Structure 1
Amino acid sequence: MPKLSGTYSRGQLAEVTGVKSETVRYYEKCGLLAVTARSAGGHRIYSEGHVKRLQFIRRCRELGFSLGEIEGLLELDSGEDKTCEQVRHTTAVHLKDVQEKISDLKKMEATLAVLISQCDDLSSPICPIIEALSEN
């Protein structure tokens, strides 16, 4: 990856961190990533600190954290009386949400499997799946 004396352009930052350039811009707009100074040519200049922060944000997003949750997690680094216990609590709440979604997805999977199993006669003009989906 091209590195210019510890600084990166937006494209380089995106490449190094594995996110799209538009995503970098979006995170700046949301306030998760600080807007930086511009070079003489008008391009944003990013540092290693931006790389680290963007990698953290990307990993949080991969784990399904919302932008608000990520903002809360990032506050731990800001020195505003945050504790590991608070981060653990946020993560535990998120885990519970993920587990609930998995449960819901398993229910959907079972329902869809039942619907498909009811559709034995593929030549029938009456489709049991359509009938089941039309019921209240």
Structure 2
Amino acid sequence: MNIGEVASVSGLSTRMIRYYERIDLIPPSQRTLSGYRVYCERDVHILRFIHHARDQGMPIERVRAMLALWRDRNRPDDEVQAIALSNIDALNARITTLQIMREVLSYLAEHCDDAELPPGPVLDDLPPTTCPKGEHHDS
């Protein structure tokens, strides 16, 4: 596959694929005699992983560590387990934060225009400008 095809199936732009190659996150692609990049299914699998990991906020260095685990089949099991558990902890923390934000936004959507209701406890730490004046719907 050429870089355009790989971009399409991986969800990444050609610019990002080139960038990931430049920073050695992915190995250099194979090249045709005329210099065009050529990719295989394994490359697509790696790029999809990178796309999903980055889309969920995983830092590049953590992605690099995860890819290193996948590539190095001789790495000690306890090291693999420690890195995997660390990543699970980071994901769980992110999930918790996202769930709290969903609750805050849901509460806000339901009560933002109700001037008679005091903010609920979930809004206590939010700044008072959370619901802009122009967004109130007076009856």
- What TM bracket, shorter-length normalisation? 0.5 to 0.7
Cα displacement (A) at 1:74: 1.8
2:51 is equivalent to residue 73 of structure 1: no
Provide the residue aligned with 2:46 in structure 1. Answer: 53
Provide the residue aligned with 1:13 in structure 2. Answer: 6
DSSP-derived class of the 2:81 partner: helix
TM-score (norm 1): 0.59
The gaps in structure 1 that reach 5 residues or longer are 1-7, 123-128
Provide the residue aligned with 1:29 in structure 2. Answer: 22
Task: Report if the CA contact (8 A) 1:76-1:83 is conserved.
Answer: no
Provide the residue aligned with 1:5 in structure 2. Answer: none
Aligned-pair identity in percent equals 23
The gaps in structure 2 that reach 5 residues or longer are 117-122, 130-139
- Aligned-pair Cα RMSD in Å: 3.6
DSSP-derived class of the 2:31 partner: coil
Amino acid at match of 1:32: L
Amino acid at match of 1:133: P
Cα displacement (A) at 1:10: 0.7
1:66-123 CA distances to partner (integer Å, 9 max, x unpaired)? Answer: 221221122234437423443332232223223333433444455563797475349x
CA 116–83 in structure 1, closer or farther in 2 if over 3 Å, else same: same
Cα displacement (A) at 1:44: 1.6
Report the count of equivalent residues.
120
Task: Report if the CA contact (8 A) 1:60-1:70 is conserved.
Answer: yes
Provide the residue aligned with 2:127 in structure 1. Answer: 133
Provide the residue aligned with 2:114 in structure 1. Answer: 120
Provide the residue aligned with 2:32 in structure 1. Answer: 39
Cα displacement (A) at 1:134: 5.0
Deviates more, 1:102-111 or 1:45-54: 102-111
